Amino acid sequence: MALPSTDTSRYDNTLAVIRTLRDQGPVARVDLGALNGISSATVTSISAELLQQG
């Protein structure tokens, strides 16, 4: 079953954030957004989910 496009975009954005953190180490959320072409609000939401998951 294919994911809805919003789920796919969210998954892709999450992977992009994780890759950036792996490649560059600690990065400010605003910079993560700029580096990945996503909004700071999206980065904040992704960060919150990742922190909640441990």
Domain residue limits at 46: 26-53
pLDDT in tens, the chain (54 residues): 565 667 789 999 999 999 999 999 999 999 999 999 999 999 999 999 999 998
pTM: 0.83
* Residue at 33 is within a domain: yes
Report how many domains make up the chain: 1
**47 falls within a domain:** yes
Residue 44 lies in a domain: yes
Query: Does residue 6 sit within a domain?
Result: no
Q: How is 1-54 classified by DSSP, letter by letter?
A: -PPPHHHHHHHHHHHHHHHHHHHH-S--HHHHHHHHT--HHHHHHHHHHHHHH-
